[in-house]
Amino acid sequence: MNDPTSGFFRQLQERYQENPLVTLAVSAALVAFASTPIAFAILGRMDWFAPRRGRTSVKPTFLQIVTAMLLVMSIPAIFTAIVIKASYFDEDRYEFDPNRTWTVLSQGRGLADVQAADKAVAEEMKRLAEERKNILDGVKKLDESLLALRVAAVTAPQTIAPLKDVLERVGPLRKAVGIDAPQQLEDLKAPPAEISASLSQPVYVVANANVPPAAGVPTSPAAAAAPAGLTAAQRDAEIGTVPEPQKAIAGMLPLTDLPAGWTIGKLGDKHLETFNAENLFEKIDGRAESFIQYDVRGMAYTYFHPVGDDSNELQLYIFEMANDLKALGKYGSEKPEETKPVQVGTEGYSASGSLLFRTGKYYTQIVSTKDDPKFNEFALAIAKRVAAAQGAGSASEGTKEGGESMAGPDAIFAMLPQGQGKANPKYVAQDVFGYAFLSDVFMADYEAGGSTWQGFLRPYASPEEAKAMYDKYLETVKADGAEVKPETSKDCDAMVVSSNIGLVDVVFLKGNTLGGVNGATQAKPALEFAKAFATALPPKTPALPPMEKSAEGGHE
């Protein structure tokens, strides 16, 4: 037969092991509750409570005894309540965190209803956008200052190490605000060009009409007119040592027939270097990860400097990305807002003496230590040669296997509607609009009737894949608390209008394409834009370029 007493004590023991403080407090309170009435009864019989008034003992009434008993029993009850409350109390509730950012909703200042909260959040978002722009401008000005320091570092070796450290420390700041600085590629620790001490071979120099040649140095009229650089045999010999996956981009380096007055810098016993995704950090440590995010496959490098001037140089980086799309994404992520366009490759610009452009799946950077007309002219000449080689080496990816049509990035950009203040077309590779499932999206800014928004477009390989992303979008915005309303349109398969925190999105599904409006400040112009956008699109848009399989390769 089970003993109820043993079961009670076993449960009490288990409770004690789980929370000894609460168990002791509750047990003590139960003992107090049980013993207090008994104690009052005994003490009352012993006239314990009879007070003396003068020479007379006066017995308290029953009500007075009960009241006193309840007051005494409240002591363990209050103690027990405090102990139980302490076990569930948030110990960080009143902790002050100086780094915590208080949002508009958490402050709750004068927010009478949800509409007032939406308006306050929209104003706060506008303020944060302005602050972000100020930070971007500040970082860009910092980059301009670093350019001058970089030039000084080349002529003052003792400053190279501190400047390199500054560039590395500023790197996370650039990443946080979405800026990559081309000058951070500058390899300030690269060895100087080697000067051969052997004069066993004849050395020919370009003769100056006013300066006689040095004694003992032969001259040749043919050599004086000959372009500088490596010979074809020397170039082929160096490219022959490059790992197979990087030979194509190494062949795009202009190592022969350089303009007069320029020479190729030497890197050890060679004039070029190549890297793959795995060892790219060896050349651009601190920035390699940003290229890997855009599926870099390889990089070829060399540098040039004026004859007789080793203190200034132009460094040439040719990056091969997975496809046109990734090259466009990386190029766009590094492009400042204010640049000087350059007609080279598919698209190019110059900034602070450096020249950057993209052609097909290649992204090229020519980084200069000096913003000078002579350097700019040479950089443009080199860029045109590289772009020509890249255009010839880029296979046209117009169809997939089976004959399915595809579109390059520029063709997809052309599908975005014209007019209505269209500006800043860009490609975003991942986490578009804060959605982890949305990637590889083309968009542009629009403005009309006092309202602003972003028009966007994302072609998929099949209508089924586009439909899955559309359903995922609906599921996500509903979970975020947005108000979602279906919209009828005969020119697309489905369309919804969602509003949250004072902003409006209009998203439509048409064939294999997802498109629409994001972040509109007014619903009517956004809806009109989205309907016109859907009407202009064909039933099926060409798919994005396919991803190529990564090739193995090494570093030479």
In the structure, what pLDDT confidence band is assigned to residue 129 with cuts at 50, 70 and 90? confident
3-state secondary structure of 491: coil
Mean pLDDT of 296-309: 92
Decide which of 67, 87, 107 is a domain's last residue. Answer: 87
Question: Does a structural domain hold residue 399?
Answer: no
CA dihedral sign of residues 412, 414, 415, 416: positive
Q: Are residues 256 and 363 in the same domain?
A: yes
**What pLDDT shows up at residue 213?**
47
What CATH number is associated with residue 303? Answer: 3.40.1000
Question: Does a structural domain hold residue 407?
Answer: no
Q: Are residues 387 and 420 in the same domain?
A: no
pLDDT digits (tens, 9 = 90+) for 49-108: 666 656 666 667 777 778 888 888 888 888 778 877 766 655 555 555 656 666 655 665
* Mean pLDDT, all residues of the chain: 78
In the structure, what pLDDT confidence band is assigned to residue 243 with cuts at 50, 70 and 90? very high
Q: Are residues 330 and 236 in the same domain?
A: yes
271 contacts 316 by C-beta, under 8 angstroms: no
Among 63-67, 323-327, 459-463, the minimum mean pLDDT is found in: 63-67
Nearby residues of 415 by Cβ (< 8 Å), 6 or more positions away: 442, 457, 536, 537, 541
Nearest to 325 by CA among 227, 223, 383, 397: 397
Distance of CA 330 to the CA centre of its chain: 11
**What pLDDT shows up at residue 90?**
55
Question: Does a structural domain hold residue 280?
Answer: yes
pLDDT digits (tens, 9 = 90+) for 203-223: 333 334 344 444 444 444 444
Which residue would you say has higher pLDDT here, 175 or 336? 336
Q: Are residues 438 and 386 in the same domain?
A: no
Q: Are residues 339 and 230 in the same domain?
A: yes
Question: Does a structural domain hold residue 108?
Answer: no
CA dihedral sign of residues 180, 186, 188, 190: positive
Mean pLDDT of 528-556: 72
Q: Are residues 282 and 302 in the same domain?
A: yes
Per-residue pLDDT at 274 exceeds 90 = yes
pLDDT digits (tens, 9 = 90+) for 413-438: 889 998 888 888 888 877 888 888 89
State how many domains the chain has: 4
Q: Are residues 387 and 422 in the same domain?
A: no
**What pLDDT shows up at residue 110?**
60
Which residue would you say has higher pLDDT here, 535 or 208? 535
Distance of CA 285 to the CA centre of its chain: 17
Mean pLDDT of 328-353: 86
Decide which of 378, 393, 408 is a domain's last residue. Answer: 393
Per-residue pLDDT at 199 exceeds 90 = no
Per-residue pLDDT at 459 exceeds 80 = yes
Which residue would you say has higher pLDDT here, 150 or 390? 390
**What pLDDT shows up at residue 191?**
46
In the structure, what pLDDT confidence band is assigned to residue 109 with cuts at 50, 70 and 90? low
Query: Letter for the amino acid at 309?
Result: D
CA distance 459 to 532: 17
Mean pLDDT of 546-555: 47
340 contacts 351 by C-beta, under 8 angstroms: yes
Which residue would you say has higher pLDDT here, 192 or 38? 38
pLDDT digits (tens, 9 = 90+) for 154-170: 556 566 667 777 777 77
Question: Does a structural domain hold residue 404?
Answer: no
Q: Are residues 243 and 376 in the same domain?
A: yes
CA distance 117 to 110: 9
- Can you give the three-state secondary structure of 204-244, one letter per residue? CCCCECCECCCCCCCCCHHHHHCCECCCHHHHHHHHCCCCH
Mean pLDDT of 500-515: 91
Question: Does a structural domain hold residue 474?
Answer: yes
pLDDT digits (tens, 9 = 90+) for 370-421: 888 999 999 999 999 999 999 865 544 444 444 444 567 778 888 999 888 8
Residue position matching structure tokens 């168990």: 23
What is the residue range of 32's domain? 4-87
Q: Are residues 125 and 274 in the same domain?
A: no
CA distance 443 to 458: 9
CA distance 305 to 191: 13
Among 110-119, 346-355, 409-418, 446-455, the minimum mean pLDDT is found in: 110-119
**What pLDDT shows up at residue 16?**
72
305 contacts 268 by C-beta, under 8 angstroms: no
Among 13-27, 105-119, 175-189, 468-482, the minimum mean pLDDT is found in: 175-189
CA distance 471 to 315: 48
For helices 20-45 and 4-18, the axis angle rounded to 10 degrees is: 130
Nearest to 390 by CA among 413, 417, 410, 362: 362
Decide which of 362, 393, 424 is a domain's last residue. Answer: 393
In the structure, what pLDDT confidence band is assigned to residue 316 with cuts at 50, 70 and 90? very high
**What pLDDT shows up at residue 208?**
42
CA distance 272 to 236: 12
CA distance 322 to 296: 6
419 contacts 411 by C-beta, under 8 angstroms: no
Question: Does a structural domain hold residue 170?
Answer: yes
Q: Are residues 243 and 318 in the same domain?
A: yes
In order of 178, 243, 364, 416, the CA distances from 384 in angstroms are 29, 25, 11, 29
Mean pLDDT of 106-128: 73
**What pLDDT shows up at residue 536?**
92
Question: Does a structural domain hold residue 531?
Answer: yes
**What pLDDT shows up at residue 73?**
81
Residue position matching structure tokens 């509730």: 93
How many residues are present in the chain? 556
Structure tokens at 350: 């110059």
455 contacts 505 by C-beta, under 8 angstroms: no
Structure tokens at 109: 């200042």
Q: Are residues 167 and 126 in the same domain?
A: yes
Mean pLDDT of 262-277: 92
In the structure, what pLDDT confidence band is assigned to residue 112 with cuts at 50, 70 and 90? low
243 contacts 524 by C-beta, under 8 angstroms: no
CA distance 148 to 146: 5
CA distance 293 to 276: 14
What is the side-by-side order of every strand in the sheet holding 513-520? 423-428, 441-448, 451-459, 513-520, 503-510, 494-500, 483-486
Q: Are residues 364 and 297 in the same domain?
A: yes
Per-residue pLDDT at 253 exceeds 80 = yes
